A and B are shown apart, each in its own frame.
Chain A
Amino acid sequence: MNVIQAVKLYITRMTEESGPGMKVILMDKETTSIVSMVFSQSEILQKEVYLFERIDSHSKWDNMKHMKCIVFVRPTSENISLLSRELRYPKYGVYFIYFSNVISKADIKTLAECDEQETVREVQEVFADYLAVDRHLFSFNIVGCLQGRSWNPHHLQRCAQGLLALLLSVKRRAVVRYEAASEPCARLAERVRDLLRREAVLIDNNIPFNGEIPTPQLLIIDRRDDPVTPLLNQWTYQAMVHELLTINNNRVSLAHLPDVHKDFKEVVLSSEQDEFYAKNLYSNFGEIGQTMKSLMDEFQKKAKSHQKVESIADMKNFVETYPLFKKMSGTVTKHVTVVGELSASVTRHNLLEVSELEQEIACQSDHSKHLQRLKNLLSNEAVRHHDAAKLVALYALRYEKHASNALPSLIEALKTRGVPEHLVKAVVNLLEYGGAHARQSDLFGLQDAVKITKRLFKGLSGVENIYTQHTPLLKDTLEDLIKGKLRENLYPTLGGDDGAYGRRPQDIFVFIVGGATYEEAQCVHQINQTYPGVRIVLGGTTIHNSTSFFEEVKAAMQGVHRTHTRHIRNV
């Protein structure tokens, strides 16, 4: 159940099926991202694919009959008409067409009628229809999937198709479960179930039924159940980079930094191609510093030994180890640049202090102390407006029902601080989006007696690391699911397959409507390591940091009347 591998296998086969020869790959915007997530350009070049073209680009017609064209597009009606035009006046010698999802017979007929020069050799559906971010993490890059609290129909369709593709690409027959309290989850679950039914023949023919292992489960849950996780500052490498610098399709832009080397205007952080990154993406910031230092030392030692090139033998030695040397130097410089920028941000914006309070509000219960510290931080100039708004939002969620809730005065404080209007609004929006009325789970562990005592003990023994106290709600949900304890009334199974309930699933797909986070990805990674035999793949409409999460909330609350935050009058 390695989603990167699944996409890679599809693409590799596309390049092989067309046989030897010069190739061009013709893609749309989304499939370009899908391919670029799993292959670097040099890897693709070695597969004889030399040109990358966009099907929607309006460039001049060229006679390139000596090339083979691999078409890899999503089966949208727009793509069909663009492809029809391409086939009517073919630039390339032969065409191998792959759709990333189910395509209708009528569309194939349209293509066949346009193919008057008989250039099409192959038409296939392959199911690489999601962005494989990591082995166990995928996304559809949709920010703002809900509009006015219900699905944007395009996005609903896209997610349902993507989930169908996911199951087909890793060859699993899964039952669909969803969060009962969430209308969008129910809608998506139904849609996926319908698609699975429609493709029953394909599934029966290709995925043998295995009675020995428990039926895999696809669990669809709502971001609204845990609005806290995307708000927190993170201290693991990947999550931190995303929060502070934003990762977009495995790429991080550093162009805004002063005096950055021109090779590092945009750096690629991919666990498949970058060994250092793969090893360290879940290490915390302190460890990264250590690793970085030892790497630097090793590198400098090597660089030094190469500096004294005196004899011919030295020279030869240098040239022979040169490719490795160059590769290593690239990696080291890249990560030094990134980590350097992270650490600068941390000091610049007082992030240690901010994060400490965030964690305490999220995990502990001491209203008056938290309120006092929050007020102190709000008056601190170094704290960014964004962080200030986040802190107030956390407070609002945590102490929503507290007797002496001071949210109106905090919002006033934000305003006097000069926090921009949209951030102030975001706080209220967030409360409306993910307040107590919207959550079905006990996010802060206020009702569960076991959790309360657990927290009490934790408080007594002292926490190991004040910056990493928080664990996402997803962890509890998944552990319940693995143990077969996830309650059927809260997470019903579609189609009423009784066999699935009660048996402990081993293969789990969990999809978060409203976006996942890298903290949750790490949590899933840890569960995969801890429970032998359990394989979980996490996905979300997108992968959030706090900035994109505010956008998500804004879109979801567009045009919705405030019903639960009417008492806050000063917004």
Chain B
Amino acid sequence: MATANDDEILEGFLCPICKADLKSASQLTSHFESLHSEEQDVLRSLKEIFGKAKKIILNNDDSDLKETFDRALKFSYQEHRYLDEEQSIGVSRSSTDYLKGVRSARLERYATETNKLLIRLDKLVCNMPSDPNQRKLHEQEVVPWLDGSSVKLCPNCAKTFNLTRRKHHCRLCGSILCHDCSLFLDINVARAIVDPSVAQTSNPPDHETSEKNGLRLCEHCYNLIELRKQVQESRNAKTVLVTAYEQMRSLMDKARPDVVMYEKMCQSLFDGETTYNLTDVNKMRGRIGKLAEGIDLLSKQIIAFPAEPGTRQARLQTAIRQAAAHYIKEDLLSLRKLPTEAQIEEVRRQRYERAEKQIQMERERMERQRDRMEEMAGPSVSRVESNQDDDDNPLLEQMNIIREYIKEARKEMKFEEVAILETNLKELKKEYQLQKLCNKS
């Protein structure tokens, strides 16, 4: 497992990342899994951010690294499978395609007919003269009326035509029908159907639509047009409620990762890590509080929209408010309490002491090992002095860059990034110290 570096040669069971000598293969594996198990993400970000540092950190055997990752991933995958065994969703069967097949075959017939009617409707309402006689001419010009001379009965209700039951024509298909069987389509509504961009005067016609302000239609044509109208309406069913609701949901979507992040930051503080400081976490808390306020406000707005009590609309609004209140109470306000400065100091101190002790032990062990090695081999391999100057050491340069990044990220409250960068910085520091150590010896 020896690898050639630019100008120095390290031997032994080296960790490909921190280059610590682990003395045995099994130790190396366990070291790698315990310390570098999350290395993958870090590596990926590192690759992009720093070219130079990557070269130094990653110049060891890449395939070795890959193998370890593969193993680690496979392990977790298996575990996942095992847990899933009990929980996988049961059998289901979809008949959606069949339904769609039947439906479209059926609706295709309607579609061509509806289109024909729409074109006619467009022509009818486009330049409709207001004078009744001219209007009649215009209508007949667009749709030729059926010759009624041979029709004795209304085709719809089968009653005879006479003086009181006059013959009428459907304005869309030209067929004959009696007055009782006619339906009327409001002209304004018709205009809205052919041109949806025309804002429909939203007050529904209180007055009965009649010959004067409506189009006389047979039942068949009326139904087709009505269907078309409803489909159109459901497509543009965006109301104030929907807008407010969507806003509220988007705030909730924002809050969710924040809460996770907050928990992580809080935990890190309690563990005595230095990745985040108390102000960071407090800011985060403030941000979540603001989101909670926003959600609260919007949900109150939603419940305040006018709705008749007891209707679905009213129940819907109450339920949304209830859900929002529950969410705020359970997820946003029950956040963990922050430790005080003193507590943080205390854990940090303890941690530091522990780390110190460990480093001390490590150092002693290494010293001993080296002594033994030197005794055995004698002063044979004299290490090549690194002729790198401390000032333009690329590691130092990188460290400074990262510090800048951290400052910026903190300002923008991107704590996810702060965490990654902090780990990077630590890695670099470690690397730098190691290098120095090597250089000294």
A contact residues vs B (CB 8 Å cutoff): 1-2, 5-6, 9-10, 13, 20, 22, 24, 42, 45-46, 48, 50-51, 53, 59-60, 62, 64-67, 90-91, 93, 103, 105, 108-109, 111-113, 115-128, 168-171, 202-203, 206-207, 316, 320, 323-324
Q: What are some 16 contacts across the A-B interface (CB < 8 A)?
A: A9-B87, A9-B89, A10-B92, A22-B242, A45-B323, A46-B327, A50-B315, A51-B316, A64-B313, A113-B103, A123-B94, A123-B96, A123-B99, A124-B96, A128-B90, A316-B337
Is B55 an interface residue, CB under 8 A from the partner? no
CB contacts (< 8 Å) of B319 on chain A: these are 45, 50-51
Is B377 an interface residue, CB under 8 A from the partner? no
CB contacts (< 8 Å) of B233 on chain A: these are 65
Distance between Cα atoms of A127 and B90 in the complex (Å): 7
Is B383 an interface residue, CB under 8 A from the partner? no
> Are the CB atoms of A126 and B92 closer together than 8 Å?
yes
Nearest residue (CB) in B for A99 is B95
B206-260: which have CB < 8 Å to A? 227, 230-231, 233-234, 237-239, 241-242, 245, 249
> Are the CB atoms of B237 and A171 closer together than 8 Å?
no
> Are the CB atoms of A125 and B95 closer together than 8 Å?
yes
Binds A, one of B4-12, B165-173, B328-336: B328-336
Q: What is the distance, in angstroms, from B270's C-beta to the closest C-beta of chain A?
A: 15
> Are the CB atoms of A1 and B86 closer together than 8 Å?
yes
Q: What is the distance, in angstroms, from A315's C-beta to the closest C-beta of chain B?
A: 13
> B97-117 toward A: CB 8 Å interface, digit per residue (1/0)?
011111100110010000000
Nearest residue (CB) in B for A206 is B91
> Are the CB atoms of B98 and A105 closer together than 8 Å?
yes
Distance between Cα atoms of A116 and B329 in the complex (Å): 44
CB contacts (< 8 Å) of B99 on chain A: these are 108, 111-112, 115, 120, 123
> B299-335 toward A: CB 8 Å interface, digit per residue (1/0)?
0000000000001110110011011001101100110
In the complex, besides A53-B312, A125-B93, A169-B91, 16 extra interface pairs with C-beta distance below 8 angstroms are: A9-B89, A45-B319, A50-B319, A50-B323, A62-B312, A65-B237, A108-B95, A108-B102, A122-B94, A124-B95, A125-B95, A127-B90, A202-B93, A320-B334, A320-B337, A323-B334
Q: What is the distance, in angstroms, from B250's C-beta to the closest C-beta of chain A?
A: 10
CB contacts (< 8 Å) of A42 on chain B: these are 323, 326
Given A5-B86, A50-B320, A67-B316, check contact A171 B103 (CB 8 Å). no
> B72-100 toward A: CB 8 Å interface, digit per residue (1/0)?
00000000000000111111111110111
CB contacts (< 8 Å) of A108 on chain B: these are 95, 98-99, 102
Q: What is the distance, in angstroms, from B95's C-beta to the closest C-beta of chain A?
A: 5
Distance between Cα atoms of A394 and B166 in the complex (Å): 85
Distance between Cα atoms of A116 and B111 in the complex (Å): 11
Distance between Cα atoms of A48 and B253 in the complex (Å): 13
> Are the CB atoms of B316 and A124 closer together than 8 Å?
no
Q: What is the distance, in angstroms, from B28's C-beta to the closest C-beta of chain A?
A: 37
Distance between Cα atoms of A332 and B320 in the complex (Å): 29
Interface residue total, chain B, C-beta cutoff 8 A: 48
> Are the CB atoms of B237 and A93 closer together than 8 Å?
yes
> Are the CB atoms of B86 and A113 closer together than 8 Å?
no
Nearest residue (CB) in B for A120 is B99
> Are the CB atoms of A118 and B96 closer together than 8 Å?
no
Which secondary structure dominates where chain A touches chain B?
mixed
> Are the CB atoms of A119 and B93 closer together than 8 Å?
no
Distance between Cα atoms of A169 and B93 in the complex (Å): 12
Which one, B86, B92, B110, B337, contacts A2 given CB within 8 A? B86
Distance between Cα atoms of A45 and B323 in the complex (Å): 6
> Are the CB atoms of B95 and A123 closer together than 8 Å?
yes
> Are the CB atoms of B315 and A51 closer together than 8 Å?
yes
Q: What is the distance, in angstroms, from A262's C-beta to the closest C-beta of chain B?
A: 19
Distance between Cα atoms of A316 and B340 in the complex (Å): 14
> Are the CB atoms of B91 and A45 closer together than 8 Å?
no
CB contacts (< 8 Å) of B237 on chain A: these are 65-66, 93
Nearest residue (CB) in B for A13 is B89
CB contacts (< 8 Å) of A59 on chain B: these are 312
CB contacts (< 8 Å) of A51 on chain B: these are 312, 315-316, 319
Nearest residue (CB) in A for B312 is A62
Nearest residue (CB) in B for A42 is B326
> Are the CB atoms of B95 and A46 closer together than 8 Å?
no
Q: What is the distance, in angstroms, from A526's C-beta to the closest C-beta of chain B?
A: 20
> Are the CB atoms of A323 and B106 closer together than 8 Å?
no
Nearest residue (CB) in B for A2 is B86
Distance between Cα atoms of A170 and B89 in the complex (Å): 8
Which one, A10, A20, A64, A116, contacts B110 given CB within 8 A? A116
CB contacts (< 8 Å) of A323 on chain B: these are 329-330, 333-334
Distance between Cα atoms of A42 and B311 in the complex (Å): 21
> Are the CB atoms of B95 and A22 closer together than 8 Å?
no
Which one, A50, A90, A119, A126, contacts B90 given CB within 8 A? A126
> Are the CB atoms of B234 and A124 closer together than 8 Å?
no
CB contacts (< 8 Å) of A60 on chain B: these are 311
Which one, B91, B239, B241, contacts A127 given CB within 8 A? B91
> Are the CB atoms of A65 and B88 closer together than 8 Å?
no
> Are the CB atoms of B249 and A20 closer together than 8 Å?
yes
Distance between Cα atoms of A67 and B315 in the complex (Å): 13
CB contacts (< 8 Å) of A62 on chain B: these are 311-313
CB contacts (< 8 Å) of A103 on chain B: these are 95
Q: What is the distance, in angstroms, from A385's C-beta to the closest C-beta of chain B?
A: 45
> Are the CB atoms of A119 and B234 closer together than 8 Å?
yes
Q: What is the distance, in angstroms, from B439's C-beta to the closest C-beta of chain A?
A: 52
Q: 5 tightest CB-CB pairs across the interface, nearest first?
A: A169-B90, A65-B237, A112-B102, A50-B319, A45-B323
Distance between Cα atoms of A203 and B102 in the complex (Å): 26
Nearest residue (CB) in B for A107 is B95
Distance between Cα atoms of A45 and B88 in the complex (Å): 24
Nearest residue (CB) in B for A127 is B90
Nearest residue (CB) in A for B333 is A323
Q: What is the distance, in angstroms, from A9's C-beta to the closest C-beta of chain B?
A: 4
Q: What is the distance, in angstroms, from A450's C-beta to the closest C-beta of chain B?
A: 37
CB contacts (< 8 Å) of A90 on chain B: these are 234
Q: What is the distance, in angstroms, from B222's C-beta to the closest C-beta of chain A?
A: 14
Distance between Cα atoms of A169 and B86 in the complex (Å): 11
Given A42-B326, A64-B313, A320-B337, check contact A168 B102 (CB 8 Å). no
B123-178: which have CB < 8 Å to A? none
Nearest residue (CB) in B for A114 is B103
Distance between Cα atoms of A64 and B319 in the complex (Å): 15
Which one, B88, B96, B234, B245, contacts A122 given CB within 8 A? B96
CB contacts (< 8 Å) of A113 on chain B: these are 102-103, 106
Which one, B86, B103, B242, B316, contacts A118 given CB within 8 A? B103
Q: What is the distance, in angstroms, from B115's C-beta to the closest C-beta of chain A?
A: 15
Nearest residue (CB) in B for A207 is B91
Distance between Cα atoms of A53 and B316 in the complex (Å): 11
Q: What is the distance, in angstroms, from A250's C-beta to the closest C-beta of chain B?
A: 20
CB contacts (< 8 Å) of A119 on chain B: these are 234
CB contacts (< 8 Å) of B87 on chain A: these are 2, 5, 9
Nearest residue (CB) in A for B320 is A50
> Are the CB atoms of A46 and B231 closer together than 8 Å?
no
Which one, A65, A120, A202, A324, contacts B91 given CB within 8 A? A202
Nearest residue (CB) in B for A1 is B86
Nearest residue (CB) in A for B227 is A116
Q: Which of B101, B241, B316, B330 has the most CB of A within 10 A?
A: B316
Distance between Cα atoms of A128 and B89 in the complex (Å): 11
CB contacts (< 8 Å) of A48 on chain B: these are 249, 323
> Are the CB atoms of B91 and A109 closer together than 8 Å?
no
Q: What is the distance, in angstroms, from A537's C-beta to the closest C-beta of chain B?
A: 13
